[in-house]
């Protein structure tokens, strides 16, 4: 459903993405792990249409994305700090995409109420964004994205600002709604545990070079992901008890 071929991007003389290729199937979540500065955000911005690539092809459901402006791609980009309209209620933030598409009012009411119920936000429908916690705000951002049924969801460290428990809850909620709505996503994270929790496919991006793993076991075993060394650490802790 998404095919990226030989994508290249430089900022001035600095190469940021080098010949990046990837494939994503319908309903899959590609977890992209990588250290800071590796080019993850740049990759997502190019897919969203917020940066132009120097070279390479991008096809989503057979359609060339390169000539399309961001608002015609049906791609939603979500990052750490959810961008909500501060003057609109939770309900109206989620309803926004339907209203600009002139969906009839009874349909808006029904769809938004169902989405708020799914995200456990019904009790907060009349609040403004500043009256919510970080996790709640991120759930509103999800609702706003999902209600327009995007073809591709791009998540850039979306739970990075949340405490560990809220982050774990949000990972489960993300898995639930992305399965429920059969959404295809690319989920960028610094955290290998988060990558293993949310991903159905795995890749590692470092210094502009993307490695895709055929199997989860290959991702786990690659020393760059740090998973084997972490496991060794916890085994040594266990052995000393
Ligand atoms: N608009 C820009 N102009 C110049 N250089 C940029 C620009 N955007 C990003 N870069 C550079 O490109 C490189 C990759 O940045 P990018 O934000 O894609 O990395 P990242 O993997 O998402 O990092 P992080 O995990 O810290 O967000 C960095 O060296 C950054 O300084």
Distance from the CA of 53 to the center of ligand 1, in angstroms?
A: 14
How far is residue 189's CA from residue 179's CA, in Å, rounded to a whole number?
19
**CATH for 159:** 3.40.50.300
- Does any ligand 1 atom lie closer than 6 A to the CB of residue 42? yes
Tell the burial category of 159 from Cβ atoms under 10 Å away from its Cβ (0-12, 13-18, 19+): buried
Q: Which domain holds residue 188?
A: 2-81+154-239
Q: Which of 5, 4, 9, 66 is nearest to 38 (CA)?
A: 9
Instruction: Pick left, alpha or beta for residue 207 (phi over 0 → left; psi -120 to 50 → alpha; otherwise beta).
Output: left
- Does any ligand 1 atom lie closer than 6 A to the CB of residue 11? yes
Paired tokens of 104: 């009839």
Per the structure, how many domains does the chain have? 1
Q: Which of 157, 104, 160, 162 is nearest to 136 (CA)?
A: 162
- Residue 130 falls within a domain, yes or no? no
Cα 112 to Cα 33, 50, 137, 155: the distances in Å are: 33, 28, 16, 22
Distance from the CA of 51 to the center of ligand 1, in angstroms?
A: 12
- Residue 120 falls within a domain, yes or no? no
Angle between helices 164-180 and 134-146 (to 10 degrees): 10
- Residue 114 falls within a domain, yes or no? no
- Residue 99 falls within a domain, yes or no? no
CA dihedral over 51, 130, 181, 211, signed as positive or negative: positive
Ligand 1 atom closest to 208 (CA): 14
Cα 172 to Cα 116, 166, 227: the distances in Å are: 16, 10, 21
- Does any ligand 1 atom lie closer than 6 A to the CB of residue 40? yes
- Residue 144 falls within a domain, yes or no? no
Q: Which of 207, 189, 206, 169 is nearest to 80 (CA)?
A: 189
- Residue 174 falls within a domain, yes or no? yes
Q: What is the pLDDT along the chain (241 residues), one digit of tens a residue?
A: 999 999 999 999 999 999 999 999 999 999 999 988 889 999 999 999 999 999 999 999 999 999 999 989 999 998 877 789 999 999 999 999 999 999 999 999 999 999 999 888 999 999 999 999 988 998 999 899 889 889 999 999 988 888 888 889 889 989 988 888 888 999 999 999 999 999 999 999 999 999 999 899 999 999 999 989 888 898 999 998 8
- Residue 121 falls within a domain, yes or no? no
- Does any ligand 1 atom lie closer than 6 A to the CB of residue 85? no
- Residue 212 falls within a domain, yes or no? yes
- Does any ligand 1 atom lie closer than 6 A to the CB of residue 34? yes
Distance from the CA of 78 to the center of ligand 1, in angstroms?
A: 17
Beta bridge partners of 7: 20
């Amino acid at each position: 459903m998404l095919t990226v071929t030989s994508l290249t991007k430089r900022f001035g003389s600095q190469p940021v993405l080098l010949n990046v290729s990837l494939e994503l199937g319908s309903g899959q979540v590609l977890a992209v792990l990588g250290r800071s500065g590796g080019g993850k955000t740049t990759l997502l911005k190019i897919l969203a249409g917020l940066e132009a690539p120097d070279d390479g092809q991008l096809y989503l459901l057979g359609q060339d994305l390169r000539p399309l402006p961001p608002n015609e791609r049906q791609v939603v980009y979500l990052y750490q700090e959810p961008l909500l309209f501060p003057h609109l209620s939770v309900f109206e933030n989620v309803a926004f995409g339907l209203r600009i598409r002139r969906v009839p009012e009874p349909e808006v009411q029904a769809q938004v109420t169902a989405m708020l119920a799914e995200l456990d936000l019904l009790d907060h429908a009349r609040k403004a964004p500043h009256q919510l916690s970080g996790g709640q705000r991120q759930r509103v951002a999800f609702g706003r994205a999902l209600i327009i049924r995007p073809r591709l969801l791009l998540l850039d460290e979306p739970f990075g600002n949340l405490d560990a428990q809220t982050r774990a809850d949000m990972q489960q909620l993300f898995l639930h709604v992305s399965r429920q709505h059969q959404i295809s996503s690319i989920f960028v994270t610094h955290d290998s545990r988060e990558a293993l929790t949310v991903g159905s496919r795995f890749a590692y991006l470092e210094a502009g070079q993307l490695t895709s793993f055929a199997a989860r076991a290959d991702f786990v075993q690659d020393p760059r992901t740090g998973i084997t060394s972490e496991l060794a650490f916890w085994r040594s802790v266990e052995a000393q008890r």
